[in-house]
Structure 1
Amino acid sequence: MPKSNNSKKTPPTEPIKSLQYDLFAHFITNDQVDTSNAVEVWESIPKYFFSPQQIKKLRTESGLAEPYKWNYTYDGIPCMVKIQPALIEQTDGSYKAFFPSITEELIEEALKKILTDQQYGLHDPQSTETWVRFSLSMLEKELTARGRSRNKNQIKHAIEVMSSCIITLYKNNKELWKGSILQDLVTVGREEYLADANSYHIARLPLFISHAIDKLNYRQFNYARLMSCNDQLTRWIYKQLIHRYKQASYSNDYHFMFSSLECNSGLLQQGRAIDNRKKVLRALDELKERQIIHTYDIDNRKEGRSIVDVKYTIKPTQDFIKEQKAANKRMTNNLHQATPQMKRLNKK
């Protein structure tokens, strides 16, 4: 995992030639428009699990809120994320606290897709910085095309939340990284920003993404399929399959536990355990509907009459198998092309 770097940055004034970025922007697929990249270490951090009802409960009467902490595990290592909400000024001059939620999740996915277009992305391997250029109109158009329409005011609000909330990541109780989802946001003057939805803005993406580009630690996936998923939990499980079920085949199934999903996603916070288990089943059914998994089996683990955990075993569809094979081939090709350069850099 990359270390924290909170110093103020400014975007490079000229394009930078980078083999790593060239590889990041090129996919092995017949559908470039519908393909994007997933970065496991960054996306494993639970940060978009807040519902409007939960946010309302976390606010004080004055509209403010304290940072929220969530414990989870990554590769068996105890981790914790602390999310300090964005304080956004309201029309009456007061401030209200906002945590990142569904809209911010979808906009991040749209920005990572935009990043793969080399006229809008910039990666500097020397300083491990990655920048993405965008406009509110671009994001509105992209979200609408993917069936996730948001108006410009909603997008503008989400960008403010993503650039103003502070995420602190702890690993084994030690602070590892601290920053915002969109860092060092550069815009035109505030009045122009609010008035002109076509003005370009540029933001530095978290160090996790830059580090992944440098080290080739990302996977291509079906971005259109992800954005078609209605439920957050469906999208979370799909991302886990992308990263963890690399050798998907008819003869090789994949399983995960309810307890792990509950801990690591942050998305199972219904009042009753039975309601959380029903939510998982709805997500699995949607994965079938989206042609990601073919079948799934449930193994309830009981103590007496009580269900204490559930094991879910899935089998993939032919579409998912093909997509994972393409992702594996691309990873092999990328390593073959980049290894000589990476060896030279490591010797310096």
Structure 2
Amino acid sequence: MSNTQKINSTITHASINKCAIPYIRYKLVKKPPEKYIKSLQLDLFSQFVTNDKSEVSNTVEIWESIPKYFLTPAQVKKLRTDTGHADPYEWNYSEKGGNFTVRIQPALIKQGNNKYQAFFPGITEELVEEALKKILTIQNHGIHDVNKVETWVRFSLRMVLKELASRGRDRNINQIKHAIEVMSSCVITLSKEKKEIWKGSILQDLVTVGREEYLADTDAQHIGRLPLFISHAINQLEYRQFNYDRLMSCDEQLTRLIYKKLINRYRHANLINNYHFMYSDLKSTGLLQQNREIDNRKKVLSALNELKEKNIIANYETDERKESRAITDVKYIIYPSNEFISEQKAANKRNSDSDKHSIDPNLISVNKS
């Protein structure tokens, strides 16, 4: 069962919330398509409403709402046994009224002493995933099979290195190679109400060159399959344009998460409305695990201040909820910047343009219902 993926081809934000996912099993394809597949869905995924295509990418909320990059190196060190191994880590969270559990089975990676050590995905893997999704939009670097619901991204270590460096997120080749290994070897299991609904890796069915060539040639091409959530989003046009360059410029992981939340939830941002979220909702993401709640709240304020510095929001307010003298929750009220408003309008237009294509008979299997 460890290699079984379970998901329905009409999955939407609402359907995962309702757990309307029949147990349809797909055989894993261990090799990418031998021939190029023409896909209008991938073409739409790669088209943006912008003056500078290099600055934008796509967010897939249904995939990105699953916590998976929240463990810190210090936490991972504590989870390891004396032999360097670690048990799977479980995290319970709530999403749109549903109770979910994500279980992360760590990657076991051979070390220089010939012993294996457990690694969980973290910040570097998060950034590499963003880079790979951006590379997917570059011509000839993505393959999308509409009927099999599969999406493959073709890349080299050097491409990822250059992409990260161009966004100020420098990682060396060994760090990128390690991240790719973690992403392809860890196993994530998603359950709702204790019922398993999906299982797989962040980067699946990785096809790579031999070890010697892999180490010697950082321009050698690799290809891996992205999770079914992303493939279904491409089929169903369930993704959203955003300022990728601005996201990657954010230093704090929590800032990036809140920014993604605003992109997907605050779609009609303007100067006469605002958006709010609760501290308790952010706690579900796994990024607020300080020992003291006051330190967690300071971390949120730091992220909000960075959002202001990056001109994503114009201002914010806090509304503390108390019982007696204890703070039980905090409401954060967000006011958008003019730039964010403009970017959301562009994303809305892009969605509208894509929806017009969804009735095209050449777009196989697109069903927005």
Which TM class, normalised by the smaller chain length? over 0.9
- Give the alignment partner of residue 322 of structure 1, picking from 342, 346, 355: 342
State whether structure 2 residue 230 is matched by structure 1 residue 225: no
Following the alignment from structure 1 to structure 2, what is the Cα–Cα distance between the partners of residues 124 and 234? 34
State whether structure 2 residue 272 is matched by structure 1 residue 251: yes
Which is helix-richer, 1 or 2? 1
- Give the alignment partner of residue 66 of structure 1, picking from 87, 112, 117: 87
After superposition, the Cα gap between the structure-2 partners of 1:171 and 1:30, relative to the gap in structure 1 and judged at 3 Å, is same
Contact 2:147/2:365 (<8 A) preserved: no
Report the 3-state secondary structure (helix = DSSP H, G, I; strand = E; otherwise coil) of the residue aligned with 2:360: helix
State whether structure 2 residue 304 is matched by structure 1 residue 284: yes
Structure 2 residues without counterparts, runs of 5 or longer = 1-5, 9-24
**Counterpart in the other structure of 1:298:** 318
State whether structure 2 residue 7 is matched by structure 1 residue 2: yes
Following the alignment from structure 1 to structure 2, what is the Cα–Cα distance between the partners of residues 86 and 105? 15
Residue by residue over 1:262-312, the C-alpha shift from the partner in whole angstroms, topping out at 9 and shown as x without a partner, is 01x110000000000000000000000011000000000000110000000
Shift in Å, 1:8: 3.9
Shift in Å, 1:343: 8.2
- Give the alignment partner of residue 269 of structure 1, picking from 277, 280, 289: 289
Following the alignment from structure 1 to structure 2, what is the Cα–Cα distance between the partners of residues 198 and 9? 23
- In structure 2, what residue type is equivalent to 1:232? Q
**Counterpart in the other structure of 1:26:** 47
Query: Following superposition of structure 1 onto structure 2, how do residues 26-65 of structure 1 map, counting pairs within 5 Å?
Result: 26-65=47-86
Following the alignment from structure 2 to structure 1, what is the Cα–Cα distance between the partners of residues 201 and 194? 20
Contact 2:314/2:335 (<8 A) preserved: yes
TM-score by length of structure 1 reads 0.97
Query: Following superposition of structure 1 onto structure 2, how do residues 187-206 of structure 1 map, counting pairs within 5 Å?
Result: 187-206=208-227
Contact 1:6/1:179 (<8 A) preserved: no
**Counterpart in the other structure of 2:234:** 213
Contact 1:300/1:311 (<8 A) preserved: yes
Query: Following superposition of structure 1 onto structure 2, how do residues 58-207 of structure 1 map, counting pairs within 5 Å?
Result: 58-207=79-228
Shift in Å, 1:345: 4.0
Following the alignment from structure 1 to structure 2, what is the Cα–Cα distance between the partners of residues 246 and 6? 37
Contact 1:5/1:178 (<8 A) preserved: no
Structure 1 residues without counterparts, runs of 5 or longer = none
Identity of aligned residues (%): 63
Shift in Å, 1:7: 2.2
User: Which stretch of structure 1 is more off in the superposition, 306-315 or 190-199?
Assistant: 190-199
Contact 1:216/1:334 (<8 A) preserved: yes
Contact 1:20/1:338 (<8 A) preserved: no
- Give the alignment partner of residue 329 of structure 2, picking from 309, 331, 335: 309
CA RMSD for the aligned pairs?
A: 1.4
Following the alignment from structure 2 to structure 1, what is the Cα–Cα distance between the partners of residues 355 and 30? 30
Contact 1:2/1:211 (<8 A) preserved: no
Aligned length: 346
